[in-house]
Amino acid sequence: MSTVYNRIINSQNAIAILIDPDKFSQQNSDDFLRKLNLAQPDFIFVGGSTVSKTDFDTCILELKKKTFAPLIIFPGGAHQIHEAADCILFLSLLSGRNPDYLIGHHIAAADEISKMKIEVIPTSYLLIDGGKKTSVEFVSQTTPIPHDQESLARKIALAGMLQGKKITYLDAGSGAINMVSQSMIKQVKTINLPLIIGGGIRTIEEVKTVHGAGANIVVIGNRIEEDIEFLLDVANYQKNKNEMA
Ligand code: 1GP
């Protein structure tokens, strides 16, 4: 069966564009959507730390109608679920000790999700210090893993795998000054699980670096919110990548 998870496992050098429904009302223009489709992202992630249910639902429905890539929910809370999406990353914030983000939101969402046809991927989510306080840190009231604690990140990801998580996501947080280091990516990649890396990735050079270190999927959010023309650089990257494949 062709599932989003199979697609992720088989993805090398994939790009996910992150859409924050909080900002989507300004982005929802023909120009933005045309460039988003031109970029041919491998995945579109949708989610945010402070999003209302109404904005979330509108964003999912609009993107489902107007874009082509698999739509993956990257939830900031229990209310960010919708059956029009293809998949939800069922995130546990394993770098922190806040029970709400380890299991609380999951319980709140469990009945509703299980009634939907949506694919659910249990995911270890680790927040890594990216040089500034990010909204995930503030909202979750957790402390990120220090930037240079590669072995701690690896151990947490390994524990997540032993708990049954199918993916590891290392996030320096939206707008991070420092992206996750190559050495941390390499260490965590020694665990044989697909790896998603996000936070503070702002150039194609950085995308290449992160892919080169072993990320299956690189997530780009902030850079596109600031400059939608960057979608054209992503389009070129994707075109070259597909030609080389
Ligand atoms: C944040 O990983 C994402 O959760 C993306 O980060 O917005 O900095 O690209 P940016």
Which atom of ligand 1 is nearest to 202's Cα?
9
DSSP letters spanning 134-182 = -HHHHHHT-PPBPTT-HHHHHHHHHHHHHTT--EEEEE--TT-SSPPPH
Question: Which pTM was predicted?
Answer: 0.97
Burial of 23 (0-12, 13-18, 19+ CB in 10 A): middle
CATH (domain of 154): 3.20.20.390
Which atom of ligand 1 is nearest to 47's Cα?
4
Ligand 1 pocket, mutate which of 89, 174, 210, 234 (most atoms under 8 A from CB): 174
How far does residue 159's CA lie from ligand 1's centre (Å)? 24
* pLDDT tens-digit profile, the chain (245 residues): 679 999 999 988 999 999 999 999 888 899 999 999 999 999 999 999 899 999 999 999 999 999 999 999 999 999 999 999 999 999 999 999 999 999 999 999 999 999 999 999 999 999 999 999 999 999 999 999 999 999 999 999 999 999 999 999 999 999 999 999 999 999 999 999 999 999 999 999 999 999 999 999 999 999 999 999 999 999 999 999 988 87
* Residue whose C-alpha is closest to residue 120's, from 88, 148, 142: 88
Q: Which domain holds residue 49?
A: 4-244
Provide the domain count of the chain.
1
pLDDT of residue 1: 60
Ligand 1 pocket, mutate which of 17, 23, 46, 219 (most atoms under 8 A from CB): 219
φ, ψ (nearest 5 deg) of residue 97 = -125, 35
Ligand 1 neighbours, Cβ below 6 Å, are: 18, 171, 173-176, 198-201, 219-223
DSSP bridge pairs for 170: 126, 197
SS3 129: coil
DSSP letters spanning 183-229 = HHHHHHHTSSS-EEEESS--SHHHHHHHHHHT-SEEEE-HHHHH-TT
